[in-house]
Amino acid sequence: MGPNPKCIYIFSGKRKSGKDYVTDRLYDKLNHDNVIIIKLSAPIKSLHAEKNDLDLKNLLSPLEYKEAHRKAMVEWSEKLRNEDYGVFCRAAIQMSKAENYPVWIVSDARRKTDIKWFKENYNNEIIKLYRIVCDDGIRKQRGWEFTEGIDDKETECGLDDFDNWDQIIENNSSDEVDAFINETIEHVYSLLNGANS
């Protein structure tokens, strides 16, 4: 295994809890030579388009295509994930060229197997697990609406009963997030400086 990563921060949270908000703010405050955001959902669309949907596109109207595409993509990705739960983790790492960076921010863990895969493949001491939570009322203000078939499925609920978080970050306002970001920046600095000395 190469020298990277030196640290993996893995984030999870429900829709509109603020995963992108928190991870983007953390990223913005760090030196971009050192840190990369890895989105586990990123390779699904591009790999699916590459491999599967060209025929569909030619056969269907735009509206039919959109729904058929979504359904086909979910089925295809689930089949692949059932055969090998690390498939999209590896693809996301490759796509983002993460091995060039010491600090990894995984912004969208959704399943227990996402966490399991990282724990099986990297030193557990460098992995931090964070759950972002906020009140449903605040999520609604941020544009969330309960949607059957999404909010009751594994992608949203798969980590509800996971209880091994290093920290649960409340994102109803920015106070706790600001404190978390400052502590994490300190952690990154000490880690990188320690590693260089």
Ligand X SMILES: Nc1ncnc2c1ncn2[C@@H]1O[C@H](COP(=O)(O)OP(=O)(O)OP(=O)(O)O)[C@@H](O)[C@H]1O
Cis (ω within 30 of 0) for the bond into 5? yes
Q: Is 105 in the site for ligand X (CB under 6 A)?
A: no
Which of 19, 39, 69, 110 binds ligand X (CB under 6 A)? It is 19
Rounded distance between C-alpha atoms, residue 187 and residue 103, angstroms: 11
- Which two structure tokens, joined as six digits, stand for 188? 């990154």
Q: Is 177 in the site for ligand X (CB under 6 A)?
A: yes
- Number of neighbouring beta carbons within 10 Å of residue 18: 24
CB of 154 to ligand X, least distance (A): 14
Rounded distance between C-alpha atoms, residue 36 and residue 101, angstroms: 6
Which of 122, 142, 158, 165 binds ligand X (CB under 6 A)? It is 142
160 CB-side CA count, 13 A: 10
Per-residue mark of binding to ligand X, 21-60 (x: CB under 6 A): x---------------------------------------
Residue closer to ligand X by CB (options 7, 132) is 132
Cis (ω within 30 of 0) for the bond into 43? no
Residues making up the annotated binding site for ATP are 14-20, 142, 171
Q: Which residues bind ligand X (CB under 6 A)?
A: 13, 15-21, 142, 171, 174, 177
